[in-house]
Amino acid sequence: MTGTARPRLILGSASPRRLELLAQIGIRPDAIRPADIDETPLRGETARDYVRRMATEKAAAVPLSEGEAVLCADTTVSVGRRILGKPEDEDEARAFMRLMSGRRHRVLTAVALRHGGVTRERLVETQVRMRPLDARALDRYIAAGDWQGKAGGYAIQGAAAEFIPWIQGSFTAVVGLPLSETAALLGAVGIIGEPR
């Protein structure tokens, strides 16, 4: 982008994990403006369509000034056609973990970047296998509270790491922001990481 000023980067998320992930590739947002939208899945909506819609709706909801670009993302977990959002309570977290226990599930993360009236979006799908969970391990996990505020009721980089023996795809997408795809989107508008 020769001759064009680098846009100010706005992160449309309050997630400390996304901020940490951006720092890994040398990118520090100029401001944080979390998007506030209704995150209820539509009737019959697939997990792929849902996560894409969430990321682009978040990007559309963040107010921008001239010379700004907003980066938003959304992560969801799906087992079959069922979308597992953030559990509302311990019972739902326990139900989600039991559903994933001993089987594979998909983690879908969509990233959207809005700049200059154009929204670019990428979707990354990762397969994750969770080992079978016994009652004691599940009770210990639920009591620790690490399930709160996490899609599917777990974070791969947190206490649930002991339950995940295998993934196929992007680890950073499971954490909440696929770094390779995000760097490409940002680079397309002239935002590149600074050496640390």
- Domain ranges in the chain are 8-188
Kindly tell me the number of DSSP H helices and DSSP E strands found in the chain. 6, 7
- List, for the chain, all residue ranges whose pLDDT scores fall below the cut of 50: 1-2
What amino acid positions are annotated as catalytic residues? 74
pLDDT at 194: 82
β-pairing, 8-11 vs 31-32, is parallel
CATH architecture classification, 8-188 = Alpha-Beta Complex (3.90)
Q: Which of 77, 173, 70, 172 is nearest to 112 (CA)?
A: 70
**Longest C-alpha distance within the chain, in Å?**
61
HSE-up of 118 (CA within 13 Å, CB side)?
6
pLDDT at 82: 94
pTM score > 0.85 for this model?
Answer: yes
pLDDT at 1: 43
pLDDT at 5: 81
pLDDT at 195: 67
Reduced to 3 states, what is the DSSP secondary structure of residue 7?
coil
Apex CA 155: angle with CA 95 and CA 187, to 5°?
A: 135
- Give the integer Cα–Cα distance in Å for 87 and 98: 13
- Give the integer Cα–Cα distance in Å for 104 and 29: 34
- Give the integer Cα–Cα distance in Å for 103 and 82: 14
